[in-house]
Amino acid sequence: MIGVLGFVGLWTLGRWRGWGARWLVLAAIWWGFLMVVHLPSQMEHPFARVVGGDFQGWAVFGLLGVGVLGYREVLRAVHRRKAPGPVAVPPSGTFREAELDRYARHIILREIGGPGQKRLKAARVLVVGAGGLGSPVLLYLAAAGVGVIGVIDDDVVEGSNLQRQVIHTDGRIGMPKVFSAEVAMRALNPFIEVRPYHRRLTEEIAVDLVKEYDLVLDGTDDFDTRYLVNRACVAAGVPLISGAITQWEGQVSLFDPAKGGPCYACVFPVKPAPGLVPTCAEAGVAAPLPGVIGAVMAMEAVKWITGAGEGLAGRLMIHDALHMETRVIGVKQRADCEVCGGRHDTVSTSDKT
């Protein structure tokens, strides 16, 4: 009876796993060995003495073998079921496992969470300038998981940039800044799309380019470009986060006249006379200052995209790194603004620390 059970068990296991006729033959040999050699325990058989043992021992040994084989196959089936298949591109708005791990510290923040991280993934942000302010802005937007990041700049990396423009490296001196920035951003986060534009922002392309994005961050160091970016953003109805630095001081604000706030020209209606406000190349700049102001700009972008906290819309933050003082003043639209045609005619100067 034990031999029959062993034969049936091995044959059934072979059929389940598709092992073919060889396992049926093996089962038949084992069963025949038991029947011919060890079944007649009361009979003396020369071959039985050679192989040793008795019928019960060999039968139990065979059944244990069937059990071990069956257990091994069950484990293999479980492992195959748990094994990951080919990596598929997730539908828009969903995350790969690696992305969930990457953005975990955002997702556990109550103010951002999963919905906020999805908004970051769906966002399109244009950064004007890949220099001192653009460097931390681009790195932090990439790290935060902004889905599409455009960067426009016509300059190339120079050795004098590396004191503060941390997105570039010595090995990329001579490379266009937008492509150098692209290398660093893709190395930091392969799950984002980078759109480099190696050209100068001009009146002919500004509005059409800005319309492709949800938000613009301007970190340029010349006033002509700042006013151009502001006009393009007002015309396209796209919010603008603008930053500026010189020596030890910097400032940041979010300009969104479509939501009742001022535009850049409301706060700075008149461009400074040539030479009145020197550039970083002329006046110098402390190396970490662009990192401080650029990080604030990136933080404002993340808050605006996710809806977290209170942003700098209608407020101007001024930071003095030399004396480590920061103040925030309220700003409003100007009724006579030639760019946005603001509804209000005053500029508030209420201070906040």
> 104 in a domain, yes or no?
no
Listed residues 82, 108, 131: the one ending a domain: 82
Specify whether 179 is located in the same domain as 315: yes
The helix-helix angle for 289-306 and 134-144 (nearest 10°) equals 40
Three-state DSSP at 163 gives helix
On average, the pLDDT of the chain sits at 82
Residue 298 reports pLDDT greater than 90: yes
pTM attached to this predicted model:
0.71
Q: What is the C-alpha separation between 132 and 150, in angstroms, rounded?
A: 17
Q: pLDDT category, 342, cuts 50, 70, 90? A: low
Tell me, what's the pLDDT at 46? 55
Residue 245 and residue 278 in contact, taking contact as beta carbons nearer than 8 Å: no
> 88 in a domain, yes or no?
no
Specify whether 13 is located in the same domain as 66: yes
Tell me, what's the pLDDT at 346? 35
> 138 in a domain, yes or no?
yes
Q: pLDDT category, 56, cuts 50, 70, 90? A: low
Specify whether 134 is located in the same domain as 245: yes
Could you tell me whether strands 215-218 and 240-246 are parallel, antiparallel, or unpaired per DSSP bridges? parallel
Could you tell me whether strands 315-320 and 193-197 are parallel, antiparallel, or unpaired per DSSP bridges? unpaired
Specify whether 165 is located in the same domain as 257: yes
Specify whether 321 is located in the same domain as 178: yes
Tell me, what's the pLDDT at 20? 46
Tell me, what's the pLDDT at 305? 97
| Domain coverage including residue 69 | 2-82
Sequence length of the chain is: 353
CB atoms within 10 A of CB 248: 15
> 115 in a domain, yes or no?
no
Instruction: Return all residues near 48 (Cβ < 8 A) that are at least 6 apart.
Output: 37, 38
Specify whether 161 is located in the same domain as 299: yes
Tens digit of each residue's pLDDT (9 = 90 or more) over 68-125? 666 666 666 554 443 333 334 455 568 899 999 999 999 999 999 999 999 999 999 9
Specify whether 128 is located in the same domain as 66: no
Specify whether 285 is located in the same domain as 150: yes
175-208 per-residue burial string, b: 16 or more CB within 10 A, e: under 16: bbbbbbbbbbbeeebeebebbbbbeebeeeebbe
CATH number at residue 234: 3.40.50.720
Tens digit of each residue's pLDDT (9 = 90 or more) over 199-232? 999 999 999 999 999 999 999 988 999 999 999 9
Tell me, what's the pLDDT at 138? 98
Tell me, what's the pLDDT at 27? 61
Specify whether 196 is located in the same domain as 49: no
Specify whether 160 is located in the same domain as 61: no
**Alpha-carbon dihedral sign for residues 16, 22, 26, 32:** positive
> 296 in a domain, yes or no?
yes
Mean pLDDT of 138-143: 98
Tell me, what's the pLDDT at 67? 67
Structure tokens given for 221: 């160091």
Q: pLDDT category, 279, cuts 50, 70, 90? A: confident
Mean pLDDT of 193-202: 97
> 107 in a domain, yes or no?
no
Of 256, 226, 217, give the one whose Cα is nearest residue 134.
Answer: 217
Specify whether 74 is located in the same domain as 137: no
Residue 253 and residue 236 in contact, taking contact as beta carbons nearer than 8 Å: no
Residue 147 and residue 193 in contact, taking contact as beta carbons nearer than 8 Å: yes
Tens digit of each residue's pLDDT (9 = 90 or more) over 306-329? 999 999 999 999 999 999 999 999
Structure tokens given for 340: 């946005």
Mean pLDDT of 221-250: 95
How many structural domains compose the chain? 2
Which range among 22-36, 154-168, 247-261, 281-295 shows the weakest confidence by mean pLDDT? 22-36
DSSP string, 119-161: HHHH-EEEEE--STTHHHHHHHHHHHT-SEEEEE---B--GGG
Which range among 20-29, 76-85, 184-193, 273-282 shows the weakest confidence by mean pLDDT? 76-85
> 116 in a domain, yes or no?
no
> 114 in a domain, yes or no?
no
